[in-house]
Amino acid sequence: MENYRLEHDTMGEIYVPAQCRWGAQTQRSKENFKIGGQRQPREIIYAFAFLKEACARANAYFGKLTSSQEAAICRACEEIRDGRWDEEFPLVVWQTGSGTQTNMNVNEVIAHLCADQDVPLHPNDQVNCSQSSNDTFPSALHIAAVLAVTKDVLPAARRLEHTFAALEKKYPDLIRIGRTHLQDATPLRFAQEVSGWKELIAAPCRMLEMSLTELRRLAIGGTAVGTGLNAPAGFDRRVCEELSRLTGTEFLPDANKFHALTSKDALVFAHGALKALACNLMKIANDIRFEASGPRCGMGELHIPENEPGSSIMPGKVNPTQCEAMTMVAVQIMGNDTAITVAASQGNFQLNVFLPVSAYNFLRSARLLADAMESFRVHCAEGIVPDETRMTENLNNSLMLVTCLTPRIGYEKAAQCAKKALREGTTLKEAVLALGYLDEAAYDEAVQPEKMV
Q: Which of 75, 51, 61, 73 is nearest to 137 (CA)?
A: 51
How do beta strands 302-303 and 183-189 pair?
unpaired
Could you give the CA distance from residue 188 to residue 176 in angstroms, rounded to a whole number? 6
C-alpha–C-alpha distance, residues 156 and 148, integer Å: 11
What is the C-alpha to C-alpha distance for residues 441 and 453, in angstroms, rounded to an integer? 21
Q: Annotate 379-432 with three-state secondary structure.
A: HCHHHCEECHHHHHHHHHHCHHHHHHHHHHHCHHHHHHHHHHHHHHCCCHHHHH
Query: Within 10 Å of residue 322's Cβ, how many Cβ atoms?
Result: 23
Residue 162 among the catalytic residues: no
Amino acid at 386: P
Q: Which of 195, 311, 345, 365 is catalytic?
A: 311
Query: Is 181 one of the annotated active-site residues of the chain?
Result: yes
Where b means 16+ CB within 10 Å and e means fewer, 393-422 reads ebbeebbbbbbbbeeebeeebbebbbebbe
Other Cβ atoms within 10 Å of 182 Cβ, number: 7
d(C-alpha 103, C-alpha 25), whole Å? 10
Which one is catalytic: 112, 181, 211, 263?
A: 181
Residues with a catalytic annotation lie at 181, 311
